[in-house]
Amino acid sequence: MGAGCVVATGCNEAALADVARRFDPRLRPVTLSGNEDEDGARMRRTAPDAIDCVLDILPPSVDARVARMAIMTVRPYGSAGVELPYPWIMRNGITIRGQWMYSPGAAVQLTRLVRSGLLALANYAITEFALDDTNDAVTHAAASVLPLYTEGGIFMPPYSQSAVGKEAVGRAYDMVVRELKFDVKFNIAEIVQMAPHWAFVRTNSAGSTLHHSTGKTTSEANQELFILKKGDDNKWRIARYSFSPTNPPSR
């Protein structure tokens, strides 16, 4: 927080461009190619000076090579938060610190950045809720998904009846958001446009899910199929969405 430059990496070029648009020029995106040597070199070239620190906030489902590649860009006596090859650590005097996502004081620091104007929120659609209005906040979060669907969109979750139409889809997502918190990564397996206004996307996802009713976290792995329809406004929306688990059922 408050860094002079942040090099943001990822595989989704469009998502990185959107993040760069929302922040000031201190944020510099780098799209990963999968080649560790080339990606590391591009990260070093993108940074205006030696890289001081790498923050690993990747979910467990991401290949460890991604974090390793980023760590190897750190200057001698820099700091990192993931496991590294022991000889390389010793030779470069790297300090390693384990931490879950962020420190307890990070929320306060983030608030100070917003108040100081260093973190502008003008590019985000923000809705505020009081602490006593948690249920309203959850309902709002579920409703934010609805613009992604067509008017006659259908959501087909496993072990459940299909939710037909936007109103039913909204109710289904409301139930999902209230019970589950996902920490998963999606990988696109294929994108096929079948006709001028129709396409399908097949994906796979893996990670973990927190069940609010029990407080337990379970492993998550699914395969998904999206049927997309292009509207008169030239925007693609979800006409059908179905997914099924790929992990074996618990006994």
- pLDDT (tens digit, 9 = 90+) per residue, 178-211? 788 888 888 899 999 999 999 999 999 988 888 8
User: Domains in the chain, ordered, with CATH?
Assistant: 6-103 (3.40.50.720), 132-245 (3.10.450.50)
The DSSP output letter for 208 is E
d(CA 15, CA 100): 24
> How do beta strands 74-80 and 95-96 pair?
parallel
pLDDT tens figures, 134-150: 777 777 776 778 889 99
Higher-pLDDT residue of 231 and 115 is: 231
Q: Which residue has the tokens 């918190």?
A: 181
Distance CA 105, CA 89 (A): 28
H or E element in which residue 114 lies: helix 106-116
Q: Higher confidence at residue 104 or residue 246? A: 246
Q: Give 65 or 245, the one with higher predicted confidence.
A: 245
Tokens of 177: 């958001």
What pTM was computed for the model?
Answer: 0.48
